[in-house]
Homo-oligomer: A and B are copies of this chain.
Amino acid sequence: MWFWHLVVDYPACSVILCRFCLFYVLSTGSRYISKAAAKAQLDYDYDGPLMKTTVPGPRSQNVGAVNFFCNYDDSRGNYLVDVDGNRMLDLYTQISSIPIGYNHPALLKLMANPNNLSTFVNRPALGILPPENFPDKITESLISVAPSGMTRVQTMACGSCSNENAFKSMFIWYRNKERGHNSPSEEDLSTCMINQAPGCPDLSILSFMGGFHGRTMGCLATTHSKIIHKLDVPSFDWPIAPFPRLQYPLEEFTRENAQEEARCLEEVEDLIVKWRQKGRPVAGIVIEPIQAEGGDNHASPDFFRKLRGIARKHGCAFHADEVQTGGGSTGKFWAHEHWGMEDPADIVSFSKKLLSGGYFYRDELQPYRIFNTWMGDPSKNLFLAEVLNVIRRENLLEEVARSGKALLDGLYDLQAQFPGLLSRARGQGTFCAVDVCDAATRDRILLQTRDKGVILGGCGESSIRFRPALIFRDYHVHLFLNIFSDVLAHNK
């Protein structure tokens, strides 16, 4: 009975005793309540942080590499609750992977639909035995947000598998192009079984210093963000280009930044030529629209347009890795839409906020031969379809643009107020970042902010990254800025 009430009637249950409602009542009685007007709030959100202990608290003992243990039952909306009852405004959202907050009523309701039961209980081998309606379901979900110029998608279980298989698609496409037809030679067939060329060809993927594309061995050969990811793991001799290092504020460094981007593009072309001469032609170029793990490094739309042109000129596939940037947090569903191109990429990979993984691809990169047992998970697609409904119904991309602007304006103010601490505030939508003077100070600020009830993430050398859910609103921004400002004042 209690359960049935909870998942079916949830949004209207504020006077009935249930776990979530009870906490709502508790929270409004708390002395840590925020100043934001109650009417402005999401009815499924808490109204502010509530800290009972430092974090990790006593119940998160022996955490090791773990930050702290969480109470996901009690977490709601923008707020993550830990096992000590500390309730924190979450601007990191499980490494940017929670699209519409915790325990969103629409997702809870979905689980009460009996038609969805068998999708959770019977995970199919999607590549050979898909559910009856799966093509329609994919059309409703992923195809409804397909990047411009793309009508095909390959689902996968996680971000690394998505990029691994995207790379394979590019290699197969490139070799078919080299052969001019689809029939491999006898030598191709015999050598591939023993890992030797030409069957396993000496092709490469060009990536960028500071990039992150995952940690499986193919992905890892294109990842260059942190030593800890790469040390001791064998890799491929693939070319690595510099990613532009822009100077901020952008409007003061127009000429310098244009020169920097031109330098990087020139290096890309040099590497493509050099690797072709080495006998390891570049089959594809992989790049994040914003380098995330590597420090929230941005480049201009002009840079990406020119890079795409270079890929086309040299016959390389162009792969936009939107695993972290995709899903709406830049204010557009795909970050590469900001480039303003009709035909920006051959492959767009995704995961995280899309709840499982995969990649969109252009027709000629057809994925016959891309296969594994599960190839994704229809139960995650169920959630995704509902997430997309919520995004559309609640105009969340507009909300993101609005709250993102408030967040970035706030960061500009704070870096003006604390010039010795903060610099290079930057962002698109709520996908924002700011640099701290050094790594030790950054790490200290992250912990102090957390102890005051706000979870942030670090990235790059000494950056703080902001990755709130798409339901992050203006008043959450102000709540955060008040707390962050206090912490910065203590670190002046």
- Interface residues in chain A, defined as those with a beta carbon under 8 Å from any beta carbon in chain B: 2-4, 6-7, 19, 59, 65-73, 75, 80, 83, 94-95, 97-98, 102-104, 107-108, 111-115, 117-125, 127-132, 134, 157-161, 164-165, 167-168, 171-172, 174-176, 184, 188-189, 192-196, 199-204, 209, 214-218, 221, 224, 227-238, 240, 351-352, 355, 368-369, 371-374, 379, 383
- Check A234–B200 contact: CB distance below 8 A: yes
With A161-B216, A199-B230 already in contact, the answer to whether A95 and B373 are too (CB < 8 A) is yes
- Check A72–B188 contact: CB distance below 8 A: no
**Residue in B3, B65, B98, B165 whose beta carbon sits within 8 Å of that of A128 in the complex:** B65
Contacts of A217 in B (CB 8 A): 164, 167-168, 216-218, 221
Copies of this chain, tallied across the complex? 2
Give the CA-CA distance A253 to B6 in the complex, in Å.
Answer: 65
Give the CA-CA distance A132 to B227 in the complex, in Å.
Answer: 31
With A161-B158, A193-B224 already in contact, the answer to whether A131 and B234 are too (CB < 8 A) is no
Q: For residue A19, which residue of chain B has the nearest CB?
A: B114
- Check A67–B372 contact: CB distance below 8 A: no
- Check A127–B80 contact: CB distance below 8 A: no
Q: For residue A6, which residue of chain B has the nearest CB?
A: B114
- Check B7–A117 contact: CB distance below 8 A: yes
Q: Which DSSP category, helix, strand, loop or mixed, fits chain A's interface?
A: loop
- Check A195–B221 contact: CB distance below 8 A: yes
- Check B233–A94 contact: CB distance below 8 A: no
Give the CA-CA distance A122 to B7 in the complex, in Å.
Answer: 15
- Check A70–B131 contact: CB distance below 8 A: yes
State how many angstroms separate the Cβ of A265 from the closest Cβ of chain B: 20
**Residue in B2, B70, B125, B221 whose beta carbon sits within 8 Å of that of A95 in the complex:** B125
Give the CA-CA distance A70 to B209 in the complex, in Å.
Answer: 45
- Check B134–A121 contact: CB distance below 8 A: no
- Check B201–A94 contact: CB distance below 8 A: no
Contacts of A2 in B (CB 8 A): 114
